[in-house]
Each structure stands twice: as C-alpha cells, then as structure tokens.
Amino acid sequence: MSNAARPRRHDAATADERIIWPAAFGQRFLVTVDVEEEFDWTAPLDRRHRSTKAMRAFGPAHRRFAEAGVGLNCMVDYPVAVDPVAVGILSECLGDGRSEIGAQLHSWVTPPYQEVVDPFTSHAGNLPIALEAAKLDMLTDAIDASFGIRPRIFRSGRYGLGPSSLSLLASRGYRIDSSMRALHDYHAVGGMNFSAIDAHGFRREGMVELPLTSVYTGLLRRRGAGLYRRAGRWPHGRGVLARAGLLSRIPLTPEGVDIRYALAGIDQALADGVRLLTFSFHSPTLEPGHTPYVRDARDRARFDRWWDAVFDRLAKHGVAATTIDEVLAAAG
C-alpha cells in the first residue's frame, strides 16, 4: 500500500483528555485566520505562488473585528512572515491588545524544499519527521525574527496534522494546536481523518487542542458520522438530507456556509455544551477574486453581514470573545 493510500486517523478524545473548563469561563469564542499567500485553489499547488498582495485588505477588516471587541488569531505562514509589508500590517493589528500572531505551516512554500510537491506532501504531517521539523523550525524562526514573538498557537496547512506533529510542537514551546477540523475526513485527498474528533477542546501530547468547530444538525444528527459518510456515496445525497432538515454538517466559517446554517450550527454547538467555539477563514478571502468564497464586491459585503449576524447571535447567547491568554489560563 502506498503512503497516500494509508489514511491517518486521529482518535476521539478520551475522558481524561477532555478539558474541564472552569465555570467562570462560561462559553466563549475565538476567531482564527489562516494568513497566507494567494494561489489558485483549483490548480495544482506550486511553490512559485507566493504573492501576499491581498494583505492590503487585512487592516480594514481587522478594524471591523476590533470595533466589535473581537481579536484575530493570525495563523501566519512563511511567505507572509518574510514579507515586510505584510508584517507591518499585522504588527499594527496587535495594537488592539486581543489579537495574536500564531503559525501556519504551508509545507510546499516553506523551506527546506526537499520534497516533490503533490497532494500527499502538502499535508506536512505526511512528511518524514526530520523534514516536518525542519520546516516547522524555519517558520517559527521567521515569525520570531519578523515580529519578535515566539508563536504559541499553530495550525498545519490543509489540516495536515500527522502522528508526530503535536510532540514536535510541544518541544518547541507551542501551547495550542488548532489543526483538527472536527467531523471532517481528508484521507481521500491524501490528508488526515478527523471524523472521530468533535468540537470539544482536549489535551494531547502536551498540547491544548482546539478543533475547528463543526457540528451535525437535523433530525438525524445523532446518526451523524455514519449517515453522513454513507450519504456521500449517493448522488447529491448530502444535499438531499440537508434540504430535508434531516442532517447537515456545519463548520463555523463564512466560507461556503450560509448564515442560516451557521446560526443553526452555533445554536447546536452551544446546546451540546461546547465551551469554546473556534471560527476560521482565510486572509485572501478578504479581497475579492482570490478564493471561491468572495469573487466580487457583493460577496465581500455578504462576508461582513455574515459576521454581523454571528456576533449578534453570540451576544444573545451571552457568548463573549476570548483571547489566547484567557484560554491558556482556563485550560490550566
């Protein structure tokens, strides 16, 4: 069996691994941003695609979040970390006192360049451990050199968290990982299987794991994982289930998730007792034309309205924005 054919499945958290959040923490939320270069999402990955021009839209977007009292946890990848203009923009954002510079490893654009770029190697956790470690060190050192900050929170690009990744992170002083996308399985494209991971935070190998929040909603939600997997084998099966109100898998992101579903996902996550909701989006989405989710000015306005509605719903539930400092203090 080839490497690409071996799915890497992450096991569900055990009871001992679960974080018991203090009552005073309540229910909170984080917004994370994959701060990265622009590239054609429909084309094969290419090391030559390193432009960070979309970062010019980051400052104005950040101000809208800051006015709402929400910090941005900026998961910075290598092309951004070595671009002085992008570094200047992000450094200004830190002035809000709530935002954070984290790290995001896009293996194909992070030296050393020893691997052939393909779907399998684009998931850093599939690389030989020495190469994954070398790329992680290069990224971490670049962020430190540019911002004067050793990042505490990490995301593996394409959710490529491998069997050695958490121990590598812990040994380098990282405290939080957010590379697992709850309920998602990427093994068909050479990636990792998180179908057993739910939206609750946990500890593993010396790290706090904050999965990107996804939940099942609908009348058949308790049959979620198995039914959702089987429905993927039927023509339009998942869409049929969603439209019938039977089963939807809802990740908390403005990218490809209609606000009606997002609000239902928030309601369900809170009803399930999820204490920390983790939202995400990609920085190139902030400027039309770089990702499939914001193609023009109308889509960009819809992106802002999505967040307005989300913040309103969270406020009605009494769910406040939090920071990495607060999360680490509460996680113990």
Q: What would the pLDDT profile of 258-309 be if each residue is shown by its tens digit?
A: 999 999 999 999 999 999 999 999 999 999 999 999 999 999 999 999 999 9
Q: Which two tokens stand for residue 314?
A: 């969270």
Site of tokens 């009552």: 23
Band of residue 225 on the pLDDT scale cut at 50, 70, 90: confident
Task: Decide: 187 and 210 in contact? Cβ < 8 Å.
Answer: no
**Structural contact between residues 131 and 114, judged by C-beta atoms closer than 8 angstroms:** yes
What H or E segment, with its residue span, contains residue 168? helix 165-171
Over residues 82-88, the mean pLDDT reads 98
Residue 103 burial class via C-beta count within 10 angstroms: exposed 0-12, middle 13-18, buried 19 and up = buried
Give the pLDDT confidence score for residue 201 in this predicted structure.
98
Q: How many residues does this entry show for the chain?
A: 332
Task: Tell me the pLDDT tens digit for each residue of 101-143.
Answer: 999 999 999 999 999 999 999 999 999 999 999 999 999 999 9
Amino acid code (one letter) for 135 = K
Cα torsion 323, 139, 280, 208 to 10°: value is: -50
Cα dist from 128 to 74, 169, 191, 229, whole Å: 27, 15, 15, 30
Q: Give the pLDDT score at 7.
A: 53
Residue 121 contacts by C-beta under 8 Å, 6 or more apart in sequence? 107, 108, 115, 127
| Strand, helix or coil for residue 307 | helix
248-251/202-204 β-pairing: unpaired
pLDDT at 291: 97
Round the average pLDDT of the chain to a whole number and report it.
Answer: 96
